[in-house]
Amino acid sequence: MDGIHDVGGMQGFGRVQPLTADPPFQHRWEGKAFAIGALAARIAGTNLPAFRHAIERVPPPEYLRGYWNRWTMGAQLMMEDSGIITDEQVRARAARLSGQDVAEPPDPEPHKPQMEITGPGNLRELDTAPAFAVGDRVRAAADVHPTGHTRLPRYVRGRTGTVAAMQPAAVFPDSAASFDGENPQHCYTVEFDSAELWGPDAEPFRLTIDLYEPYLEPAR
């Protein structure tokens, strides 16, 4: 989806935060949030791409309210989708924890998609030959605006680069996130010149990004 998460090249976020040696969790609740998110896919009968997609669907103001907030809201959204929990329940429990005497809504009916990726991780062996080889010129799909999950960010769509390396084939996140099966795909490290991405006045540099085969077409 063309969501708030796809920030590559966006302007207006200001200066980068200073490099600090902050611990993984600044507060105890952040550690608890981490654990809930890490367990949420299993609880909801889903998978990691589905969790990423749930975070993408967190409304932009909440997404920008901090990492552990969007992480927690993504986990909640995924569990809502699987009928594990409702937002009304969370709000009622939050109110009770704050000392208000409110009624607790009933549990929803679970309807887990049962599309857990339980195999040995996300890498897969493919019988089909890869369509591209190192050195090939490729173009990232231009006019695609999927409403679901994709790992093809806006800033490379329609841009031409060169295959710099082959990566192991893997579960296709776009399919897994929508519970359409693993649909494993070849994956390529594609290198772009900064001028191709940002125009002739761009800082000179090269950029690589790892793209699944369905995102790519041959180019000259």
Partner 1 sequence: MTTAQEPLDPALRVEALASLLAERGLIDEGTVSKFIATYEQSVGPMNGAKVVAKAWTDPEYRERLLADGTAAIGELGFKGPQGEHIVVLENTPQVHHVVVCTLCSCYPWPVLGLPPSWYKDPAYRSRVVREPRQVLREFGLELGESVEILVHDSSSEVRYLVLPERPAGTGGLTEEELAGLVTRDAMVGVAVVSAP
Footprint of partner 1 on residues 102-141 (CB under 8 A)? 107, 121-123
Of these, 115, 138, 163, 209, which contacts partner 1 (CB under 8 A)? Answer: 209
Q: Is 33 in the site for partner 1 (CB under 8 A)?
A: yes
The region of 30-38, 127-135, 174-182 touching partner 1 under the rule CB under 8 A is 30-38
Residue 166 has, within 13 A of its CA and on its CB side, a CA count of 11
Q: Is 89 in the site for partner 1 (CB under 8 A)?
A: yes
- To partner 1, the closest distance from the beta carbon of 22 in angstroms equals 6
Which residue, 155 or 220, has its beta carbon nearer to partner 1?
155
- To partner 1, the closest distance from the beta carbon of 218 in angstroms equals 20
* Tokens of residue 117, six digits: 């990726």
Q: Is 29 in the site for partner 1 (CB under 8 A)?
A: yes
Going by C-beta distance under 8 Å and a sequence separation of 6 or more, which residues neighbour residue 69? 62
Q: Is 17 in the site for partner 1 (CB under 8 A)?
A: yes
Q: Interior CA angle at 113 toward 168 and 58, to 5°?
A: 80
How many CB atoms are closer than 10 A to CB 23? 8
* Tokens of residue 95, six digits: 């109110």
Q: Is 170 in the site for partner 1 (CB under 8 A)?
A: yes
The region of 57-65, 126-134, 175-183 touching partner 1 under the rule CB under 8 A is 57-65
Of these, 46, 72, 82, 175, which contacts partner 1 (CB under 8 A)? Answer: 72
Q: Is 32 in the site for partner 1 (CB under 8 A)?
A: yes
DSSP conformation letters of 9-48: T-----SPPP-----S-SSHHHHHHHHHHHHHHHHHT--H
- State the sign of the Cα–Cα–Cα–Cα dihedral 56, 13, 19, 201: positive
Of these, 2, 90, 182, 193, which contacts partner 1 (CB under 8 A)? Answer: 90
Distance CA 128, CA 208 (A): 24
